[in-house]
């Protein structure tokens, strides 16, 4: 009965209509985060029942896949990934191997889709897409800061100017 309730709750939480928004990253990210969080919580509370020494359990791979999907939707899921990883490391009933299998799965899948995106878009376009908006905010902040702290502003502007001149 608990499994059925968990599945129903995850499906309902994963629907974009629940959040009264359609296809926004926050709405789409709810489903994989909810599933991953539920699996990690159950494993932390119950322990690793299939933790035989020579066998890698499948649940860290599944949770890693869900978190990689969440990161591909919105990169703020990196914070939750870090929290899950540290919770798994600190949980006394889990093997550390499980935390590293989880993290390795997330990193491998994320690097794979990110590499494909960079190859498809080209290095310069991917760089501007991934870092462009953050760079604009940083440059504006540095320009404001430069008025008040001239040395610090000019030192901080040098790397940004070098990147912008490419």
- pLDDT tens column, 23-51: 566 667 777 888 888 889 888 888 766 55
N- to C-terminal Cα distance for the chain?
60
**How large is the average pLDDT for residues 131-157?**
56
pTM greater than the 0.75 cutoff: no
Q: How distant is the alpha carbon of residue 120 from its chain centre?
A: 21
Q: Would you state the pLDDT for residue 137?
A: 58
Token pair for residue 154? 């000019």
Q: With beta carbons less than 8 A apart as the criterion, state whether 103 and 143 touch.
A: no
**How large is the average pLDDT for residues 130-147?**
60
Please determine, for residue 89, whether its predicted confidence score (pLDDT) is greater than 70: yes
**More confident of the two residues 21 and 94:** 94
- Close Cβ partners of 26 (under 8 Å, ≥ 6 residues apart): 19, 74
Token pair for residue 109? 């899948």
**How large is the average pLDDT for residues 92-114?**
91
**More confident of the two residues 7 and 96:** 96
Residues for the chain: how many in total? Answer: 166
Q: Would you state the pLDDT for residue 32?
A: 85
Above pLDDT 90, what percent of the chain? Answer: 17
CA 77, 81, 83 angle in degrees (round to 5)?
Answer: 115
Q: Would you state the pLDDT for residue 153?
A: 46
Please determine, for residue 20, whether its predicted confidence score (pLDDT) is greater than 50: no
Q: With beta carbons less than 8 A apart as the criterion, state whether 27 and 19 touch.
A: yes
Nearest to 102 by CA among 34, 40, 23, 31: 40
């Amino acid at each position: 009965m608990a499994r059925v309730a968990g599945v129903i709750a995850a499906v309902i939480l994963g629907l974009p209509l629940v959040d009264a928004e359609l296809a926004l990253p926050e709405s789409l990210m709810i489903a994989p985060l909810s599933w991953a969080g539920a699996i990690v919580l159950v494993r932390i509370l119950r322990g690793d029942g299939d933790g035989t020494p020579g066998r890698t359990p499948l649940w860290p791979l599944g949770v890693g896949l869900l978190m990689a999907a969440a990161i591909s939707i919105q990169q703020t899921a990196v914070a939750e990934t870090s929290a899950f990883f540290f919770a798994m490391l600190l949980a006394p009933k889990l093997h550390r191997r499980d935390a590293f299998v989880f993290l390795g799965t997330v990193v491998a899948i994320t690097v794979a889709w990110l590499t494909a995106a960079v190859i498809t878009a080209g290095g310069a376009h991917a760089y501007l897409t991934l870092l462009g908006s953050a760079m604009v905010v940083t440059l504006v902040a540095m320009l404001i800061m430069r008025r008040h702290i001239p040395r610090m502003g000019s030192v901080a502007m040098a790397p940004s100017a070098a990147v912008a001149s490419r």
